[in-house]
């Protein structure tokens, strides 16, 4: 059950109010009313936007926004009112939050269509939405929401203040900490991809471990995190995983690491803390990624790496990868020069 569906009145601020909230200097009509926020290219009259990167100067000149957050040293021409601040992107974010509709809130309740085994334990103020299934031994912490159609497996423990969106599958014996967000379509605790050849066919290797997800982790839609063959697949505190990411069995992802969409991490990889992994990156099994490493989009990592930025396949330190790319792009001209030299020497 959610809060009422009556449309609330639109939120409205004057530019003077927004300037005061952001601590900025207003150049424009302080009484101008702002009812929305959008990017420079999409903003319309009555909305505010922000300008923080010089490459968007063309969009700034053409924007229909009534006002724009700009840097303190802004000197370009614009017809929109300006609010000069130290960090335009941050100021814009604060305004977006103020203009946003009230978040959807779920009243603590158990929907009549939910299937909850008598052996499951629910904390205080838990919300279980329609057609959710909680198996025996499941434990749900205080103030947690289990979305419609989600499945919570046998002996799975979910901590307090978690948000499990609709149609999430969390299989048996998973351990989830507090304030974890898991988006729709995610599958936590599926079997790891374990098979061994035997007499001309493949036999399944039992996957007997668990998945452990620590506090303050967020997992995107349709991401899969496999259970360990033995021991645990472990997502540590504060990690943020985007949509459509594959995390294989026995992987360890360190604290506050960020992984972008469509990345694939093979079995038994150990990833350190505060690592950044770009979209569609691929990491082969049984290697280590050190703390504070940045891996570019579509990079293929086939060996242990640590620190700095890496890119290309196989992964190279970013400066070296860029140098090699520049060399490759010059090959056509180099071949042409060689042909000319050979012709002069009578070698062709």
Active site residue 249: yes
Phi, psi of 60 (to 5 degrees): -65, -45
Pick the CATH number of 109-318 from 3.40.50.720, 3.20.10.10, 2.160.10.10, 1.10.3720.10: 2.160.10.10
Structure-token match 């700034």, residue found: 60
User: What confidence score (pLDDT) does residue 6 get?
Assistant: 52
* Catalytic pick among 131, 183, 249, 286: 249
How far is it, in rounded angstroms, from Cα 339 to Cα 333? Answer: 10
Task: Give the count of alpha carbons within 13 A of 176, CB side only.
Answer: 33
Q: pTM of the full predicted structure?
A: 0.84
Domain extents in the chain: 13-99, 109-318
SS3 for 15?
Answer: helix
User: What confidence score (pLDDT) does residue 77 get?
Assistant: 85
User: What confidence score (pLDDT) does residue 160 get?
Assistant: 98
Burial class (CB in 10 A: 0-12, 13-18, 19+), 170: buried
User: What confidence score (pLDDT) does residue 8 get?
Assistant: 57
Long-range Cβ contact pairs of 247-250 (< 8 A, separation 24 or more):
247/223, 248/192, 248/193, 248/285, 249/191, 249/192, 249/193, 249/194, 249/207, 249/209, 250/192, 250/209
How far is it, in rounded angstroms, from Cα 260 to Cα 240? Answer: 9
Task: Determine the CATH number of domain 13-99.
Answer: 3.40.1390.10
Mean pLDDT by 10 residues, the chain (348 residues): 52 92 94 94 96 94 96 92 96 91 89 98 98 98 98 98 98 98 98 94 96 98 97 98 98 98 98 98 97 97 96 88 84 86 81
Ramachandran region of residue 87, left (φ > 0), alpha (ψ -120 to 50) or beta? beta
């Amino acid at each position: 059950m959610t809060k009422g569906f009556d449309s609330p009145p639109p939120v409205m601020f004057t530019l003077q109010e927004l300037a005061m909230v952001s601590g900025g200097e207003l150049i424009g009509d302080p009484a101008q009313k702002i009812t929305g926020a959008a990017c420079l290219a999409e903003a319309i009259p009555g909305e505010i936007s922000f300008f923080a990167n010089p490459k968007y100067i063309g969009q700034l000149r053409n924007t229909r926004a009534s006002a724009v957050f700009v840097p303190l040293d802004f000197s370009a021409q614009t017809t929109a009112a300006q609010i000069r601040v130290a960090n335009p992107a941050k100021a814009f974010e604060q305004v977006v939050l103020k203009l946003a509709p009230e978040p959807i809130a779920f009243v603590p309740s158990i929907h009549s269509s939910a299937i909850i085994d008598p052996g499951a334990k629910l904390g205080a103020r838990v919300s279980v939405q329609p057609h959710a299934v909680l198996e025996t031994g499941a434990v749900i912490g205080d103030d947690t929401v289990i979305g419609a159609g989600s499945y919570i497996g046998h002996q799975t423990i979910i901590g307090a203040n978690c948000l499990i969106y609709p149609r999430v599958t969390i299989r048996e014996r998973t351990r989830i900490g507090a304030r974890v967000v898991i988006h729709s379509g995610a599958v936590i605790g599926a079997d790891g991809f374990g098979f061994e050849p035997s007499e001309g066919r493949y036999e399944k290797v039992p996957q007997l471990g668990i998945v452990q997800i620590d506090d303050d982790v967020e997992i995107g839609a349709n991401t899969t995190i496999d259970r360990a063959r033995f021991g645990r697949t472990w997502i540590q505190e504060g990690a943020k995983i985007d949509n459509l990411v594959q995390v294989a069995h026995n992987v360890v992802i360190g604290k506050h690491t960020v992984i972008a969409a469509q990345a694939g991490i093979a079995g038994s990889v150990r990833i350190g803390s505060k690592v950044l992994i770009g979209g569609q990156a691929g990491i082969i099994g049984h290697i280590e990624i050190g703390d504070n490493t940045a891996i570019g989009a579509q990079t293929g990592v086939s060996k242990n790496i640590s620190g700095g930025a890496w890119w290309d396949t196989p992964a190279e330190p970013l400066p070296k990868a860029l140098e090699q790319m520049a060399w490759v792009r010059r090959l056509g001209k180099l071949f042409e020069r060689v042909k000319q030299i050979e012709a002069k020497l009578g070698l062709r």
